[in-house]
Amino acid sequence: MSVLSPRLVDEIKALPARYPQPRSAVMPALDLAQEEIGYLTPEAMSEVAVALQLDPGYVEGVATFYTLFHLSPIGKHLFYVCTNLSCTLRGAGDIVDHVKGAIGVKEAGEVSSDGLFSYEEVECLGACEFAPMLRLDHQYHYDLTAEKIDRLVAERKLAPASREAPAAPPALWATSPASGEGDSSHRLTKPLAPKKVRKKKGG
């Protein structure tokens, strides 16, 4: 039985036409699959490979390389907290601690007891001038304070959203932030940093 919906499979099959190299569609395809079912199961990766007519090993290799993709369950709302230099100099350590307390988890990757939240520490998200910052539900949030984080958490607890497919184009392709005023709906211009360079707390 298929784990991806027929609608999504059709959408994935249409992606290669957008790119000079059809295999470039693998990342937006994986992103769409993850949006639909929450994380990338082996079955989902296999179905993406079939839809794109790519080698399953190549698709799995891409999925396992980037922090953007998750191979195990995550919370419905995932905080990507930047802990690179600029954000760290402006208090990212305290932001991480506050996020952990606000969502009720002890470490990165842990899912809160209500299933709503988890967090990860990531490398630079390209919005250093608005540090400290994070990405949540495809939006950037700048100049973070404890109050802003509490508000983000409270809003999502009040209206726990179902997983929504991202508006086209997929989350990987968009502009970088242009303003430091409040929150942003700008999407990522590039995938998050590779796992091999993920910053470890206390490292």
Residues lying near ligand FES in the complex (CB under 6 A) are found at: 82, 84-87, 124-128, 131, 133
- Cβ atoms 23, 10 nearer than 8 A: no
What is the smallest separation between the CB atom of 98 and ligand FES, expressed in angstroms? 16
Strands ordered across the beta sheet of 117-122: 117-122, 77-82, 134-136, 139-141, 183-184
What is the smallest separation between the CB atom of 193 and ligand FES, expressed in angstroms? 11
Identity of the residue, 67 or 84, whose beta carbon is nearer to ligand FES in the bound complex = 84
- Cβ atoms 90, 60 nearer than 8 A: no
What is the smallest separation between the CB atom of 131 and ligand FES, expressed in angstroms? 5
Rounded CA separation 170/166 (Å): 6
What is the smallest separation between the CB atom of 86 and ligand FES, expressed in angstroms? 4
Identity of the residue, 63 or 87, whose beta carbon is nearer to ligand FES in the bound complex = 87
* Helical spans, DSSP H, in 38-176: 42-52, 56-65, 85-89, 92-103, 146-158
Site of tokens 């993709």: 69
What is the smallest separation between the CB atom of 81 and ligand FES, expressed in angstroms? 9
Site of tokens 């499979």: 9
Identity of the residue, 40 or 192, whose beta carbon is nearer to ligand FES in the bound complex = 192
Identity of the residue, 67 or 112, whose beta carbon is nearer to ligand FES in the bound complex = 67
- Cβ atoms 38, 73 nearer than 8 A: yes
Pairing relationship of beta strands 183-184 and 77-82 according to DSSP bridges: unpaired
Identity of the residue, 59 or 125, whose beta carbon is nearer to ligand FES in the bound complex = 125
Identity of the residue, 84 or 112, whose beta carbon is nearer to ligand FES in the bound complex = 84
What is the smallest separation between the CB atom of 5 and ligand FES, expressed in angstroms? 34
Rounded CA separation 180/175 (Å): 14
